Amino acid sequence: HRESLALGQQYSSLGSQPILCGSIPGLVPKQLRFCRNYIEIMPSVAEGVKLGIQECQHQFRGRRWNCTTIKDNLAIFGPVLDKAVHMKVSFKQRMSTRESAFVHAVASAGVAFAVTRSCAEGTSTMCGCDSHHKGPPGEGWKWGGCSEDAEFGVLVSREFADARENRPDARSAMNRHNNEAGRTTILDHMHLRCKCHGLSGSCEVKTCWWAQPDFRMLGDYLKDKYDSASEMVVEKHRESRGWVETLRAKYAFFKHPTERDLVYYEGSPNFCEPNPETGSFGTRDRSCNVSSHGIEGCDLLCCGRGHNTRTEKRKEKCHCIFHWCCYVSCQECVRVYDVHTCK
């Protein structure tokens, strides 16, 4: 039984910071129990949320809503330790927009991914490699190395990230759905990775193991899911436990969303003006690209308010020479750039 392994351990460490579960503010009771039972993997949980948020910021860089994290807002899965700073995202938890759907999916995928990776690296006694190896070896190769146990990571993510999504309301239903869609992405993209052994890479013996996809690839995939996310409407049902809200696709003529699709039921604000209600920072002072007609271009990013232009000098390496053998020497040049920022 996995839980019993961790009993008696009071804290683990994240860098040099000890984690004391009781001192993390805002954990719901189930998350607190989880933290105490799985203390060894809490650093990976925190790292996974961070990985997810960083991927979100990459995917949305240059857009009006750029997945900025701020300190003073509601957290996604409740506060998760990030070197004693809580990871929080720039919209309130009560928002049920596409952006919220993406953040939940990418962050819960991040948790599953980081936990799986750290288990495969042997950082915890609770988990390790997937010993099942899933099937007979193929033509010309045999099982070897450490197959990543993504199912364990997914399980951990489900336990922790979904712990606070147990209300009978629409937002909980939406968050659970999108969390699961994010995690499923990993299971769907597991692939074989192989290595050749033998004299000078002759591949006399080839060993293979199951590996998780690149996290960037998952981010790209989920970004497509964001673009094609399904709008839902809230339905109320009377059940024995009381009123329960569920989600139904708004447009019957579109393909019904599957468990792999992202869902939302509130329209997004345009993120042009700052609005504490929606967590929008507005786009004033954001830098934009004058020559682009896309969303990162000054016209769209600045919401038609126009932009300011200033010049900036930057030092750069230039006239680099490759010396035989082997080093490179460069001079430093000053280049002048135009920088455009939204009014």
Residue numbers at the binding site for ligand NAG (CB under 6 A): 61, 66, 68, 281, 286, 289, 291-292
CB 293 within 8 A of CB 129: no
State the minimum distance, in angstroms, from the CB of residue 103 to ligand NAG.
Answer: 14
Smaller CB separation from ligand NAG, 150 or 301: 301
State how far the alpha carbon of 331 is from the alpha carbons of 315, 321, 322, 327, in Å: 10, 9, 12, 14
Here the tokens at position 257 are 């969303």
Smaller CB separation from ligand NAG, 61 or 255: 61
CB 163 within 8 A of CB 34: yes
DSSP 201: G
State the minimum distance, in angstroms, from the CB of residue 286 to ligand NAG.
Answer: 5
Question: Strands of 205-211's sheet, edge to edge?
Answer: 142-143, 205-211, 191-197
Question: What is the radius of gyration, based on Cα positions, of the chain?
Answer: 24
Smaller CB separation from ligand NAG, 45 or 301: 301
Smaller CB separation from ligand NAG, 270 or 289: 289
Taking the CA atoms of residue 169, residue 170, residue 173 and residue 179 in that order, the dihedral angle to the nearest 10 degrees is: -120
Render 54-74 in DSSP notation, one character per residue.
HHHHHHTTTSSS---B-SSS-
Q: Which of 29, 20, 24, 18 is nearest to 49 (CA)?
A: 24
Smaller CB separation from ligand NAG, 4 or 291: 291
State the minimum distance, in angstroms, from the CB of residue 93 to ligand NAG.
Answer: 19
Smaller CB separation from ligand NAG, 2 or 61: 61
State the minimum distance, in angstroms, from the CB of residue 102 to ligand NAG.
Answer: 15
Smaller CB separation from ligand NAG, 68 or 172: 68
State how far the alpha carbon of 193 is from the alpha carbons of 103, 145, 213, 219, in Å: 29, 9, 10, 20
Here the tokens at position 272 are 């042009």
Smaller CB separation from ligand NAG, 68 or 246: 68
Q: Which of 104, 80, 94, 87 is nearest to 182 (CA)?
A: 104
State how far the alpha carbon of 329 is from the alpha carbons of 123, 324, 333, in Å: 41, 11, 13
d(CA 99, CA 96): 8
d(CA 202, CA 260): 41
Smaller CB separation from ligand NAG, 61 or 237: 61
State the minimum distance, in angstroms, from the CB of residue 104 to ligand NAG.
Answer: 20
State the minimum distance, in angstroms, from the CB of residue 202 to ligand NAG.
Answer: 44
Scan for tokens 């200033």, then name that residue. 310
CB 271 within 8 A of CB 100: no
State the minimum distance, in angstroms, from the CB of residue 281 to ligand NAG.
Answer: 4
State the minimum distance, in angstroms, from the CB of residue 218 to ligand NAG.
Answer: 20
State the minimum distance, in angstroms, from the CB of residue 216 to ligand NAG.
Answer: 17
